[in-house]
Amino acid sequence: MINKLINKIKKTNAPIVVGLDPMLSYVPEHIQRKSFQEYGETLEGAADAIWQFNKEIIDKIYDLIPAVKPQIAMYEQFGIEGLKAYQKTVNYCKEKDLIVIGDIKRGDIGSTSEAYAIGHLGKVQIGSKKISAFNEDFVTVNPYLGTDGIKPFVDVCKEEKKGLFILVKTSNPSSGEFQDRLVDGRPLYEYVGEKVAKWGEGHMGDSYSYIGAVVGATYPEIGKELRKIMPKAFILVPGYGAQGGKGADLVHYFDDNGLGAIVNSSRGIIAAYKQETYSHFGAENFADASRQAVIHMIKDISNALDRC
């Protein structure tokens, strides 16, 4: 799957991933109205609205990008109905041959981590059958519980030829509270980065490992260091756009071939029509605004990489 991701990045010339993190407030009123008319102001109605919103965006951008990253929390807040919309979104993106990175940030220990890994990446044994549940291609994982929490995910990834992005340095302002703490004079995220490199050694694709890392766009100097510490880990980079990261900040996350990283934008793409730059599209054409925002983002990052 990491080879497929890299091939798709080369083909689209777009090392980017679109975060499908729909807040109900991003969904234009005409879509909300229709869903509420059909299902009422219910969990089902909300789930239908975000699914219709997603579908229209996916239809307008799938040819430009290699991957999407649905954030499961945005669906989980609507309970079972929301999670059905998550699953529909995952399935639909896979039909469009997009790689799906489930942003689930799960992490537990032993058989519990295994259950998450099986449910999201693998197949669960039921009687004599093996059945997939959510079936994403990659998921994000939280490392706080150490190797016990990660190994079951890696084992399932090996079996299924799927991958992980493990949180190393997150993009948020308070990420430093624990992640930057100095351990023997070096920040904790470097230790986590070393572990990611080690966990990934046993599950290599052609040029990068199936086991990648999350490093926020908002800390470019740290990204540069971590790139060296984890030379074979593909880096998923959140924090571009709405959170403040720019293409020019991100060049050191990439290798000399413009590979090794994939930059995420969520709100900046899916709610583009709410920005002044794209407001001329209007709420009716929100998905066209998203397409334009994707094109701009690809250009921003390509320009930054070309300048190197």
Q: Which residues are catalytic?
A: 105
User: Residue 283 interacts with a copy of itself (CB under 8 A)?
Assistant: no
DSSP string, the chain: -HHHHHHHHHHHT--EEEEE---GGGS-HHHHHHHHHHH-SSHHHHHHHHHHHHHHHHHHHTTT-SEEEEBTHHHHTTHHHHHHHHHHHHHHHHHTT-EEEEEEEE---HHHHHHHHHHHTSEEEETTEEEESS--SEEEE--TT-HHHHHHHHHHHHHHT-EEEEEEE-SSGGGHHHHT-EETTEEHHHHHHHHHHHHHHTSB-SSSBSEEEEE-TT-HHHHHHHHHHSTT--EEE--BGGGSB-GGGGGGGS-TTS-SEEEEESHHHHTGGGSGGGGGGTGGGHHHHHHHHHHHHHHHHHHHHHT-
Nearest distance in Å: CB 11, a copy of itself: 30
Nearest distance in Å: CB 26, a copy of itself: 11
Query: For a copy of itself, which residue of 3, 7, 13, 42 counts as binding (CB under 8 A)?
Result: 42
User: Residue 37 interacts with a copy of itself (CB under 8 A)?
Assistant: no
Is the CB of 264 or the CB of 292 nearer to a copy of itself?
264
Q: Which stretch binds a copy of itself (CB under 8 A): 74-82, 205-213, 222-230, 290-298?
A: 74-82
157-176: contacts with a copy of itself (CB under 8 A): 167, 170-176
182-201: contacts with a copy of itself (CB under 8 A): 182-184, 188, 191-192, 195
User: Residue 248 interacts with a copy of itself (CB under 8 A)?
Assistant: no
106-165: contacts with a copy of itself (CB under 8 A): 106-113, 115-116, 118-120, 124-129, 131, 133-134, 142-149
84-103: contacts with a copy of itself (CB under 8 A): 84, 87
